[in-house]
Amino acid sequence: MGDDGRHMTPDEFRAHGRAVVDWIADYYERVGSLPVLSRAEPGDLRARLPDHPPSRGEPFDAVLADVDRLILPGITHWQSPNFFAFFPANTSFPSILGELLSAGLGVQGMLWATSPACTELEAHVLDWVAEMLDLPAAFRSDGPGGGVIQDSASGAVLCALIAARERATAGGSNERGCDGRLVAYASSHTHSSVEKAVKIAGLGRENLRLVAVDGRYAMRPDALDEAIRAYRAAGRIPAFVTATVGTTSSNALDPVAAIGRVCREHGVWLHVDAAMCGTAAVCPEFRYIHDGLELADSYCFNPHKWMFTNFDCDCFYVADRGALIRSLSVLPEYLKNRATESGAVTDYRDWQVPLGRRFRALKLWFVIRHYGVEGLRRHVRRHVELAQRFAGWVGEDDRFELAAPAPLNLVCFRHRGGDGVNQQILDRVNASGALYLTHTRLDDRLTLRLCVGQTHTELSHVAAAWDRIREAAG
């Protein structure tokens, strides 16, 4: 059994592969009954792993058995229908199968020439997605822009910022570095990935200005305009604004159209981050969240959050791919090839930070073909409806209140009794294992968040969560 270092044969792979697929199917049948939040203590797993790697190969069955014995206790079940924490990282069987095939093909799609189908399926599926969400025409590959799959929303905002940096300095920052004059803007509720990107891109954290928010935690365009004018008057170069469609903390929707007008007036790059909520636009009734998107230079959302596609898969679009490619392109001798030189193909290595890339479009293609656009709509609508039901129950209970508007699938709420009792609720429900909730702070008050988006979450799960929460308050 592999102890002599020989390869697994195709027949053995068939047998073990079936066992793994069965394992996954069984897992989904029981995941709803497992404690959602792992109860592992720091070091638990490492204490149980051998100090040294095996010198001889081990039977596959023993390895798989250890997944149950050793690994599962340290898993927090993101695919539990009782998972309501942070944001969903949902997946689906078609996505898992696409991921498996991607591993099986094992291609590295850095260039069109290194696997034409990898690049062309990606470009095509991203055009499909642009149509599904009714994104502005400029983001389609048949115009000056186009889409690419990034590892994450963090990777996307970094690429957008680097392209904006190049545009603002007419290519100078790539040659001579940043001189500390470029300024980026975000709201105080923008995701921390923007701060990270500002640090990596060399703007310097002091050059990230946080713009004030309104009573709904959305960026104030007037405050943005004022901040841009002030910096410009001081001889600085306002270069980049991130607007968020669905902030991580409270699902606030920044007013993209008004922000976009400010950006256009001042020639500032606008990036729109719709990491979780972008998926909602598959439903025509939620497309208002993208009003004004035609004023954006770049946009991203994560099918790996709410579109049933397993991590990692972020769809990133630019209105002008030239700016992005100029900022990231390098061409060493060993990558030169005829297809690239012909100019007729896309080489996605110029659209991202790493050189190499996985065949991620396959899983997204599988998801879209399995569900169809109507199927995706049905599930997204259902999640929103469940979150709205929950918000309704919170509103009807005198002991609780909504802490922010809940436009889609995230409900921010709190017990009126103050931080102590809210902390108690959080600790009790999470310790029970029956569900997993996380928190934020809004107006410096501890706030509970319930986010609906796991593939198999149903009314019964949300209702049971509400029962537990009320019980935990008592």
Ligand X SMILES: *Cc1c(COP(=O)(O)O)cnc(C)c1O
Q: How far apart are CB 216 and ligand X at their closest, in Å?
A: 16
Which of 114, 115, 244, 409 is close enough to bind ligand X by CB under 6 A? 244
The total of other beta-carbon atoms located within 10 Å of residue 127's CB is 17
Q: How far apart are CB 336 and ligand X at their closest, in Å?
A: 33
Q: Interaction with ligand X in 70-129: which residues (CB under 6 A)? A: 87
What are the counts of helices (DSSP H) followed by strands (DSSP E) for the chain?
16, 11
Q: Is 26 exposed, middle or buried (0-12, 13-18, 19+ CB in 10 A)?
A: exposed
Is the CB of 91 or the CB of 340 nearer to ligand X? 91
Is the CB of 126 or the CB of 473 nearer to ligand X? 126
According to the binding rule CB under 6 A, does residue 248 interact with ligand X? yes
Is the preceding omega at residue 312 within 30 degrees of 0, hence cis?
A: yes
According to the binding rule CB under 6 A, does residue 466 interact with ligand X? no
According to the binding rule CB under 6 A, does residue 225 interact with ligand X? no
- DSSP state string for 414-460: EETT-HHHHHHHHHHHHHHSS-B-EEEEETTEEEEEEE---TT--HH
According to the binding rule CB under 6 A, does residue 314 interact with ligand X? yes
The pair of structure tokens assigned to 59 is 């039977």
Binding mask 264-303 for ligand X (x = CB under 6 A): ---------x-xx-------------------------x-
Q: Interaction with ligand X in 195-214: which residues (CB under 6 A)? A: none
Q: How far apart are CB 275 and ligand X at their closest, in Å?
A: 3
Is the CB of 35 or the CB of 303 nearer to ligand X? 303
From 152-160, 170-178, 198-206, 410-418, give the range in contact with ligand X by CB under 6 A.
152-160
Is the CB of 196 or the CB of 266 nearer to ligand X? 196
The size of the interface with ligand X (CB under 6 A), counted in residues, is 14
DSSP 8-state assignment for residue 151: S
Identity at 314, one-letter amino acid code? D
Q: How far apart are CB 95 and ligand X at their closest, in Å?
A: 16
The pair of structure tokens assigned to 104 is 């099986």
Is the CB of 163 or the CB of 274 nearer to ligand X? 274
Which of 140, 167, 191, 449 is close enough to bind ligand X by CB under 6 A? 191
DSSP 8-state assignment for residue 6: P
Q: Interaction with ligand X in 329-388: which residues (CB under 6 A)? A: none
Coil/strand/helix, residue 300? strand
Instruction: Single out the residue of 186, 197, 183 nearest to residue 233, CA to CA.
Output: 183
Is the CB of 424 or the CB of 455 nearer to ligand X? 455
From 74-82, 136-144, 146-154, 449-457, give the range in contact with ligand X by CB under 6 A.
146-154
Is the CB of 248 or the CB of 454 nearer to ligand X? 248
From 32-40, 149-157, 207-215, 407-415, give the range in contact with ligand X by CB under 6 A.
149-157
From 42-50, 102-110, 244-252, 404-412, give the range in contact with ligand X by CB under 6 A.
244-252
Is the CB of 141 or the CB of 440 nearer to ligand X? 440
The pair of structure tokens assigned to 152 is 């994450």
The pair of structure tokens assigned to 81 is 């229908």
Q: How far apart are CA 107 and CA 362, in angstroms?
A: 12
Identity at 50, one-letter amino acid code? P
With beta carbons less than 8 A apart as the criterion, state whether 406 and 400 touch: no
Which of 37, 123, 153, 307 is close enough to bind ligand X by CB under 6 A? 153
Q: How far apart are CB 311 and ligand X at their closest, in Å?
A: 8
Phi then psi for residue 442, to 5 deg, are: -125, 130
Q: How far apart are CA 218 and CA 242, in angstroms?
A: 12
The pair of structure tokens assigned to 63 is 């390895």
According to the binding rule CB under 6 A, does residue 193 interact with ligand X? yes
Q: How far apart are CB 193 and ligand X at their closest, in Å?
A: 5
Q: How far apart are CA 178 and CA 201, in angstroms?
A: 9
Is the CB of 409 or the CB of 422 nearer to ligand X? 409
* Alpha-carbon torsion angle 276, 278, 281, 287, nearest 10: 110
Which of 80, 152, 327, 409 is close enough to bind ligand X by CB under 6 A? 152
Is the CB of 118 or the CB of 157 nearer to ligand X? 157
Is the CB of 244 or the CB of 340 nearer to ligand X? 244
Coil/strand/helix, residue 82? coil
Is the CB of 290 or the CB of 468 nearer to ligand X? 290
From 15-23, 55-63, 103-111, 243-251, give the range in contact with ligand X by CB under 6 A.
243-251
Q: How far apart are CB 303 and ligand X at their closest, in Å?
A: 10
Identity at 350, one-letter amino acid code? D
Q: How far apart are CA 75 and CA 388, in angstroms?
A: 29
- Cα angle 297, 161, 165; round to 5: 95
First to last CA, the chain: 57
Coil/strand/helix, residue 137? helix
Phi-psi region of 249 (alpha: psi -120 to 50; beta: other; left: phi over 0): alpha
Residues in touch with ligand X (CB under 6 A): 87, 152-154, 191, 193, 244, 247-248, 273, 275-276, 302, 314
